[in-house]
């Protein structure tokens, strides 16, 4: 399941993020890569423990928890502190095909999560750079993702994925992982589809329509059956 969530950050938020980040020192992106990923990773990132990275990351988490589509798609239990990377054409940056680590730990907070979903939040507009597509493989083939600044994409952390070489400009993004209350990806997809249908019915019939109320009950009972908290 690959789901796009528009306008997680406003354009003003993105502009402020970029202004702050442009004044920061960046480091080799391999510092947070696993053994296999480090072999194919060539980019830069903000030092994860820096005050700027933590402050901007907290802003993102606050925006996510207030976003109904994100909550519906992810049903998050724990969100890993967001990280930030950039890919430059002059440096030949790219990230070859890889799979994310199954478990991520944050030494500063002691948080450890199972990585059910990977998240990329775009902080550059598509016209700012060439290349740099996020490419995710699933049962139906490869999918290229290149979203407006402020939008994000959710996809299974178990997926093979890559970032194609940036050939012009600079690609800036936030990336992180989350553990969902619903571990099973198929069950999580069914719940998302059900919630989407319920919200459409609410728009047409109102929240107090008897059939809408019944479906809402089914939605919560499925979460009650499958949730791990």
- 5 pLDDT band, cuts 50/70/90, is very high
- Does 86 belong to an annotated binding site? no
Verify that 135 and 173 share a domain, yes or no.
Answer: yes
CA angle 199/211/5 to nearest 5° reads: 10
Looking at the DSSP bridge assignments, the partners of residue 142 are 137
Task: For residue 196, give the CATH number of its domain.
Answer: 4.10.860
Verify that 66 and 100 share a domain, yes or no.
Answer: yes
What percent of the chain is modeled with pLDDT above 90?
90
The structural domain count of the chain equals 2
Residue 97 backbone phi and psi in degrees, to 5 = -60, 135
Verify that 117 and 72 share a domain, yes or no.
Answer: yes
Verify that 165 and 197 share a domain, yes or no.
Answer: no
Verify that 129 and 57 share a domain, yes or no.
Answer: yes
Verify that 144 and 39 share a domain, yes or no.
Answer: yes
pTM of structure: 0.94
Verify that 121 and 209 share a domain, yes or no.
Answer: no
**pLDDT score recorded for residue 197:** 96
Pick from 23-32, 85-94, 202-211, 215-224: least confident: 23-32
Verify that 157 and 220 share a domain, yes or no.
Answer: no
Q: Residue range 38-51: average pLDDT?
A: 92
- Does 30 belong to an annotated binding site? no
Verify that 106 and 17 share a domain, yes or no.
Answer: yes
Count of alpha carbons within 13 angstroms of residue 111, beta-carbon side: 16
The two tokens of residue 48 are 């994860």
Verify that 96 and 21 share a domain, yes or no.
Answer: yes
- Does 171 belong to an annotated binding site? yes
Tell me the per-residue pLDDT of 116-160, one tens digit each, with 9 for 90 and over: 999 999 999 999 999 999 999 988 899 999 999 999 999 999 999
pLDDT at 33 over 80: no
Kindly give, in sequence order, each residue whose CB lies less than 8 Å from that of residue 143, ignoring residues fewer than 6 positions away. 2, 135, 136, 137
Kindly give, in sequence order, each residue whose CB lies less than 8 Å from that of residue 67, ignoring residues fewer than 6 positions away. 5, 8
Among candidate residues 180, 200, 215, the one where a domain is terminated: 180
- Does 98 belong to an annotated binding site? yes
pLDDT at 200 over 80: yes
Verify that 100 and 198 share a domain, yes or no.
Answer: no
Task: For residue 44, give the CATH number of its domain.
Answer: 2.60.120.620
Range of the domain at 222: 185-226
Torsional class of 44: left (φ above 0), alpha (ψ -120 to 50), beta (otherwise): beta
Verify that 173 and 222 share a domain, yes or no.
Answer: no
Task: Tell which residue, 195, 204, 217, has the closest CA to residue 3.
Answer: 195
């Amino acid at each position: 399941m690959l789901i796009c969530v528009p306008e997680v950050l406003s354009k003003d938020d993105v502009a402020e993020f970029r202004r702050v980040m442009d004044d920061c020192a960046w480091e080799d992106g391999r510092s947070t890569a696993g053994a296999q990923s480090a072999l194919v990773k060539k980019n830069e990132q903000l030092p994860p423990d820096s005050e700027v990275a933590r402050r901007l990351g907290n802003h993102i988490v606050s925006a996510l928890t207030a976003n109904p589509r994100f909550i519906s798609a992810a049903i998050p239990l724990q969100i890993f502190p967001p990280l930030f990377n950039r890919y430059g054409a002059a440096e030949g940056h790219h990230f070859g095909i890889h799979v994310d680590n199954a478990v991520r730990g944050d030494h500063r907070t002691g948080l450890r999560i199972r990585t059910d979903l990977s998240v990329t939040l775009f902080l550059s507009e598509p016209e700012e750079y060439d290349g740099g597509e996020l490419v995710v493989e699933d049962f139906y083939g490869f999918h290229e993702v290149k979203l407006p600044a402020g939008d994000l994409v959710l996809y299974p952390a178990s997926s093979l994925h890559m970032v194609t070489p940036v050939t012009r400009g600079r690609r800036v993004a936030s990336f992180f992982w989350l553990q969902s209350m619903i571990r099973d990806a198929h069950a999580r997809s069914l719940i998302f589809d059900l919630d989407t249908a319920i919200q459409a019915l609410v728009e047409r019939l109102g929240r107090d329509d008897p059939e809408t109320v019944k479906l809402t009950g089914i939605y919560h009972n499925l979460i009650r059956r499958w949730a791990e908290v």
